[in-house]
Amino acid sequence: MTELLTVDDLTVEFTRGGAAVRPVRGVSLTVAPGEIVGVVGETGCGKTLTGLSVLGLLPPGARASGSVRLDGREIIGAPPSVLRDLRGRQVAMVFQNPGTAFDPVRTIGAQFDRVIRAHRGGSRGRAREHAERLLRDVELADTGRVLRAYPHQLSGGMLQRAMIALALSCDPRLIIADEATSALDVTVAQQVRRLLLRLQSERGFGVLFVTHNLAEAYDLCDRVYVLYAGQVAETGPTAEVFDAPAHPYTRALLDALPRADRAGTTLTALPGTVPSSVLAVTGCVFANRCPRAEETCEHSPPPPAAVTASRTAACHFADTGGPA
Amino acid sequence: MSRPPGMTGVVEAAAPTRARQVVAALTRDRLGLLGLVLIALLVLTALFGPWLAPFPEQGAGLADVARHDLPPGGAHWLGTDPLGRDVLSRIILGARPALVVPILVVALAVLIGVPLGLAAGYRGGRFDEIVMRIADMFLAFPPLLLAMVIVALLGPSLLHAALALAVSWWPWYARLVRGLTAALRDRPFVEGARALGLRPFTVLSRHVLPNAAPPVIVQASVDIGTVILAVGSLAFLGLGPQPPTPDWGLMVAEGRTYVMTEWWLSAFPGLAIFLAVLGFNLLGDALRDVLDPRSVTR
Amino acid sequence: MTPGAMPRFLLRRAGTALLVMLGTTFVTFLLARVVPANPAVSYLGPKARPDEIARIEAQLGLDQPLPYQYGRYLWDLLRGDWGTSIGTKLPVTDEMFGRLPATLELLLIAMLLACLIGVALGVVAAARQNRFLDHLIRLLAIGGVSVPAFWLGLLLQVFVFGGLGLFELTGRLDPDLEFTDPLREITGFHLVDALLTGHLTALSDAAAHLVLPALTLAAYPIGVIARMTRASMLEILAADHIRAARAYGLRERIVHWRIALRGALPPTTTVAGLTLAYSLTGTFFVEVVFNWPGLGLFASTALLNMDYPVIMGITLFGAAGYVLVNLIVDLVQARLDPRVRLS
């Protein structure tokens, strides 16, 4: 099967106060056409930067190495004109905070007009018709009012729907959703998730769904990648990974989650913190917090190892399905 | 009195780092460094003027008609004026009032404006309303216009110019400090201090003032430059020191009549004003980057 | 936006402006009647005879209580009786309105120059942040706000007119033109009048007279506007919606000049308005240096000659102009930034 997106050994590096910082270290992942792939992990694990790398939109000063191929086209090191053509048309992004991702001094309509006509050309009238179609598609009823409104006049949920519509305006094959529901109320977030699922099944685009919310990933994603300190700790089909985690970090994340079927049990919190300088760690980056760490974990970093045919985990003592 | 734990103001804990930040920023920022150099030159000239000036007796106005209207060069680096006075000496001797008067003006404006602003912001209510409306009335005039009118009423002199400037400058500080105080009043460490029953004066001086100080310092450093310019402007119009005082603004005005032929008479004293103002503006700009006024109110 | 929000906003601001104006009349009243030992003497000048003083005292109502005097002062102002100039013996209002076009023409041309140059410098500096060009523009901008206008004007006279022989030294028009081919006054703005009457000689002559004073007056606004534009551009270029615009594949040219600059306009307009107000006093110095026959030259002469009614008139006039400019800035701000209207 040809992948829509192939990220191979992606590393992102900054220089901060003279020292190198590597928030993303050798991440590899794939998204097939029409597949919803989750990237989960705590704040600062490198998931947002991974998403931005796919658009070639890293913040100033960041350097990416490795390979990011979208539909076979290399993104890292691509000239600005190529990137500009890809953005919006091949891959579009839905941002975390819809309140700030729209230009505050222009109406929503003007912003749709600008993006639509930048990629498709045509008249203002045609662009407006297209924008209204898109807004109806994301279940925004009063399209005329939405297009006339300034961002601060709409609710967060409406803005996020509008942003999804804008992302879909040029029929991209891949949508990157970066914490797309995190800033919304719980019920609104659920509506937006349903909307995204419906649009995805109708239009068949692939989704790279970046989130810190495990329940959300469980709900939406076909496969997940669990990131820890800039590396993939574990990957596989969502149900398998969450039902029988192979990596101790995944297990710890799930144990920290309140669950209805385990009412009455005590939630366990993960002891310790992410190492402040992961570059100084010679062994497994998770070793200092891992309940099962042994001598080898301190010295040699575990390579990703197959757990089953469709799953890998970067752990010397990965659970392979049998009882621990 | 022992300080209750956790009650220290924000600045007290951060003071050493902040001082170090300021120094680091000034050395890193080349424009800020240039400002410091210009100010240092001005201060040195003001301090040692009478010993630096090649013809100190001419500064006061002693004429030497035999050597009038000499272009720059020779013994008179910056030339002489129609009365044969050495331009460089007069500029050097003018440095002291040019620096001291604006510092006094800003100090006076701070002394009036800051306490009023503190009290208005802290007490609020009717008092706040009255003080700020009075300040607004002063601020409703174009800058410098009020000062010009006051000097004209009192009669032109350096003292009157300084008084007039201070009187029209304090509302800026009152408004700035009032805003800062009102914002700080509701911050937890100030509320805590009040809840402990400290007297308003103690709360203001220990907890509010130290945190309101950085923006005031930035403003004052910029304002010294602005007031140098303002004093020079008043002097240029004739609303400041009178001849034969060696005043920079007055020298520019005096040289104006001959400017097309003897450009040095106006050009060099004006350059002195420009460099002095530039120095304080460069410093203020560099300071602002470290002690951003907005960062305190947030 | 709710219908009627704009008029209500407008009314509120206009109301505030009126209150502030009332406050300024109070200040000028105090300055005129209370500060001087004997207002009648200062009104007439130092050489007044006793009988004149007595007459003026009665005329000004100085024997009445202060609130009554203030009321009368306000009433006179409202009637348009702003007193008579001691120097020219003409009504102060006539003198001021006659000179207003000259000052406004100078001020508007200077602000136009300042906005164009200042915004362009600011955008370029922001695009080249921390590179050589950025440092140069920052130095230039700080230089612009530090330079004494009266000195810059003299330098331009010496080096541009005297050295290069470019433009004109002083005044608004070549005085010879008055005799050979006079310019008919319609609006009092020489550029506009020359265009309206098709007087091309006068047009180019008026422009040549305008360049140096306008540049001198523009130095300060250029500096302030360039700094503000640079700062707001940098702030906006780091904002989420700029990243979003790039994520949707918009060109850098559009991101910079359309989206970021458009967002930087509200704060830039505010400082442009403030510097325009500041430049009201700047005209005093520029008009003196370039012998420009406007309000500033008139006022500085009045200040030195203790022409009392003129001084008070100019002060009130200046305050009115200042309040008006600030009101206009608020309104423009509300047009440019939709968030302001609702707050």
Residue C320 has pLDDT above 50, yes or no: yes
User: Burial, A181: exposed, middle or buried (Cβ in 10 Å; 0-12, 13-18, 19+)?
Assistant: buried
- Domain membership of residue B9 (yes or no) is no
With beta carbons under 8 A apart, name residues in chain C contacting B287: none
The predicted pLDDT at position B182 comes to 85
C339 with A150: Cβ contact below 8 A: yes
Pairing of β A223-228 and β A206-211: unpaired
C160 touches chain B (CB under 8 A): no
C131 inside 8 A of chain A by CB: no
Q: How far is C45 from chain B (nearest CA, A)?
A: 12
Give me the CATH number covering residue C274. Answer: 1.10.3720.10
What is the Cα C271 distance to its own chain's centre?
13
Looking at residues B116-140, what average pLDDT do you find?
Answer: 87
What's residue C221's pLDDT?
A: 95
Q: Do A93 and C244 touch (CB under 8 A)?
A: yes
Residues 6+ away with beta carbon under 8 Å from A281: A275, A287
Cross-chain Cβ contact A105/C250 below 8 Å = no
Looking at the structure of chain B, the number of domains it has is 1
Residue C44: inside a domain, yes or no?
yes
Claim to verify: residue C12 and residue C158 sit in the same structural domain: no
Helix pair angle (B87-123, B209-237), 10° resolution: 140
pLDDT at C3 over 60: no
Q: Is the pLDDT of residue A176 over 90?
A: yes
Inside any domain, residue C46: yes
Q: Which of residues 269-328 of C touch B (CB under 8 A)?
A: 277-278, 280-281, 284-285, 288-289, 300, 303-304, 306, 311-312, 314-315, 318-319, 321-323
- Are C112 and C171 in a shared domain? yes
Question: Is the domain of C113 the same as that of C154?
Answer: yes
Looking at chain C, which residue has its C-alpha nearest residue A83? Answer: C249
What contacts A51, CB < 8 A, 6 or more positions away?
A39, A93, A176, A178, A208, A210
Q: Are residues C138 and C242 in the same domain?
A: yes
Mark which of C25, C50, C79 sits at the end of a domain.
C79
Region A91-114 average pLDDT:
91
Q: Does residue C213 register a pLDDT over 60? A: yes
Residue A155 is assigned to a structural domain of this protein: yes
If asked whether residues C205 and C234 sit together in one domain, one would say yes
Residue A128 lies in a domain: yes
What confidence category does residue B298 fall into, taking pLDDT thresholds of 50, 70 and 90? very low
Categorize the per-residue pLDDT at B14 as very low, low, confident or very high, splitting at 50, 70 and 90. very low
Residue to mutate among A103, A145, A154, A174, with most C CBs inside 10 A, is: A103
Is the same domain home to C149 and C251?
A: yes
- Residue C161 shares a structural domain with residue C60: no
Residue B50 lies in a domain: yes
Which of C21, C151, C281 lies closest to B270 in CB terms?
C151
For residue B16, pLDDT over 60 is answered with no
Residue-number span of the structural domain to which C103 is assigned: 92-337
The yes-or-no verdict on residue B10 having pLDDT over 50 is no
* Chain C residues in contact with A93 (beta carbon < 8 A): 244, 247-248
Of A276-285, B267-276, C268-277, C299-308, the range with the highest mean pLDDT is B267-276
Number of domains in chain C: 2
Tens-digit pLDDT profile for residues B50-100? 888 777 776 666 667 777 777 887 777 788 887 778 888 889 988 999 999
- Given CB atoms, is C2 within the 8 Å cutoff of chain A? no
Residue B57 lies in a domain: yes
**Interchain CB distance below 8 Å, A87 and C254:** no
Specify whether C122 is located in the same domain as C229.
yes
Mean pLDDT of B124-128: 88
Backbone angles phi, psi at C323, to 5 degrees: -65, -40
What does pLDDT average to over chain B?
Answer: 82
pLDDT, one tens digit per residue, over C48-96 is: 777 777 777 777 677 778 888 888 888 988 888 888 887 888 899 998 9
Residue C342 has pLDDT above 60, yes or no: no
Asked, for residue A202, whether it belongs to a domain, the answer is no
Instruction: Flag whether A12 is in a domain.
Output: no
Segment A62-73 mean pLDDT = 90
pLDDT tens for residues B45-64? Answer: 999 878 887 777 766 666 67
Is the residue at C343 inside a domain?
A: no
- Residue B2 pLDDT greater than 70, yes or no: no
- In this structure, is residue A37 part of a structural domain? no
Task: Look up tokens 């007595």; give the residue.
Answer: C54
Q: What is the pLDDT of residue C224?
A: 94
Total number of domains in chain A: 1
Same domain as C107, residue C24? no
Q: Tell whether A315 is covered by a domain.
A: no
From CA B32, how far away is CA C146, in angstroms rounded? 14
Question: What CATH number did the domain enclosing B96 receive?
Answer: 1.10.3720.10
B6 in a domain, yes or no?
no
* pLDDT for the residue numbered C1: 45
Structure tokens at A169: 């305006």
Tens of pLDDT, residue by residue over A217-238, are: 998 999 999 999 888 999 999 9
- Per-residue confidence at A21, pLDDT binned at 50, 70, 90? confident
Average pLDDT of the segment spanning C308-326: 86
Looking at the fold, whether C297 and C163 belong to one and the same domain comes out as yes
Chain B partners within 8 Å of C315 (Cβ): 141, 145-146, 149
**What pLDDT, on a 0 to 100 scale, did the predictor assign at position A184?**
87
Domain extent, residue B231, equals: 21-295
Q: Are there at least 3 beta-carbon pairs closer than 8 Å between A and C?
A: yes
pTM: 0.82
- Average confidence (pLDDT) over A98-116: 91
Q: Tell me: do C135 and C275 sit in the same domain.
A: yes
Assigned domain for C75 exists: yes
Task: Clarify whether residues C181 and C322 are in a common domain.
Answer: yes
What pLDDT is attached to residue C273?
Answer: 86
B151 falls within a domain: yes
Contacting chains of B (3 CB pairs or more, <8 Å) are: C
Interface residue C162 vs chain B (CB under 8 A): yes
* Least confident span in A126-140, A270-284, C106-120, C136-150: A270-284
What range defines the domain where residue A148 resides? 99-171
The answer to whether residue A134 sits within a structural domain is yes
Given a contact cutoff of 8 angstroms between Cβ atoms, the answer to whether B174 and B131 are in contact is: yes
Q: Over 70: is that where the pLDDT of B187 sits?
A: yes
Residue bearing the bigger pLDDT, C258 or A17: C258
Chains B and A physically touch (3 or more Cβ atom pairs below 8 Å): no
